[in-house]
Amino acid sequence: MDNEKGLLIVLSGPSGVGKGTVRKKIFDDPSTSYKYSISMTTREMRVGEVDGVDYFFKSKAEFEELIKQDQFIEYAEYVGNYYGTPVQYVKDTMDQGYDVFLEIEVEGAKQVRKKFPDALFIFLAPPSLDHLRERLIGRGTESDEKIQSRVKEARNEVEMMNLYDYVVVNDEVDLAKQRIQSIVEAEHLKRERIEARYRKMILEAKK
Ligand code: ADP
Ligand code: 5GP
């Protein structure tokens, strides 16, 4: 029997809300079976980041060449840098029956929604904008000016919540992780998905 296609899971939300932290928690859990799609970016590598693990770090020229070659499911320019999801890995991995997990900003999520209407869209929300600012300051990787610009961006992003299927508040990392895992589990049990599987079994039994 052919592999059932995996689910595309999109975790998005304002920068600084904790997407990276929650995603790492999810992938540190040995019971997690989803595959993380590593993004490409033109931003500078932060201390502790590894090329090919955290991101594929590219020059602007390299990134623009890949855009021309239609190599991205989605890409966005965010606070002066490009970020994008390479198409091949996602398609191949879903075809193998694995769930693929994207962690992307909201412009990119909008593009994915158009291309993959069946994907699962989860919005990670801060308990409040004050929390968000505090977290960005606490992370200590951005200048004051960049923090202002990210918080401003976050205000616009929160207004885009209506594009999502679920909203998860990131009050505590462990709770956010558990909520996301429950949502994915429930998504797999959607009547449409189960019904399709049974229809296939019935067809095969008739052969
Ligand atoms: P994003 O990937 O959305 O830009 P990060 O994962 O880098 O956000 O998180 C931004 C900062 O907030 C980090 O310093 C992180 O440790 C902190 N953080 C993330 N989630 C929580 C939480 N639930 N409570 C408190 N701090 C958090
Ligand atoms: P950072 O520079 O903090 O790693 O990421 C900045 C923003 O870009 C975050 O909101 C992050 O989720 C988002 N991002 C990371 N990878 C991608 C991607 O492939 N596509 C898009 N559109 N956004 C991404």
Superfamily holding 1-34+99-207: P-loop containing nucleotide triphosphate hydrolases (3.40.50.300)
**For position 192, what pLDDT does the model report?**
85
At the topology level, CATH places domain 38-97 in Guanylate Kinase phosphate binding domain (3.30.63)
* Tokens 């095969």 found at: 204
How confident is the model over 149-178, as pLDDT tens digits? Answer: 877 877 776 777 888 999 999 999 999 999
Atom of ligand 1 nearest to the CA of 138: 14
CA 207, CA 204: separation in Å to the nearest integer?
Answer: 5
Residues forming CATH 3.40.50.300 domain(s) in the chain: 1-34+99-207
Residue 146 clears pLDDT 70, i.e. is over it: yes
Q: What does the pLDDT look like over 14-61, one tens digit per residue?
A: 878 899 999 999 999 999 999 999 999 999 999 999 999 999 999 999
User: Is residue 1 predicted with pLDDT exceeding 60?
Assistant: no
**170 Cβ inside 6 Å of ligand 1:** yes
CB 41 within 8 A of CB 135: no
Q: Residue 187 is inside which H or E element, if any?
A: helix 173-188
Of 77, 80, 69, 63, give the one whose Cα is nearest residue 145.
Answer: 80
The count of other CB atoms within 10 Å of the CB of residue 91 is 14
Pocket of ligand 2 (CB under 6 A): 15, 19, 39, 43, 74, 76, 78, 83-85, 103-105, 107-108
* Residue minimizing CA distance to atom 6 of ligand 2: 15
| Ligand 1 atom closest to the CA of 14, numbered from 1 | 3
How far the first Cα of the chain sits from its last, in Å, is: 13
Each residue's pLDDT tens digit, 176-201: 999 999 999 999 999 988 888 888 88
What pLDDT is stored for residue 162 in this prediction? Answer: 83
Residue intervals in the chain for CATH 3.30.63.10: 38-97
For residue 141, the model assigns a pLDDT of: 82
Rounded distance, CA 132 to CA 121, Å? 21
In angstroms, the Cα distances linking 61 to 68, 69, 119 are 11, 13, 30
Q: What is the mean pLDDT of residues 61-74?
A: 98
pLDDT for res 3 = 58
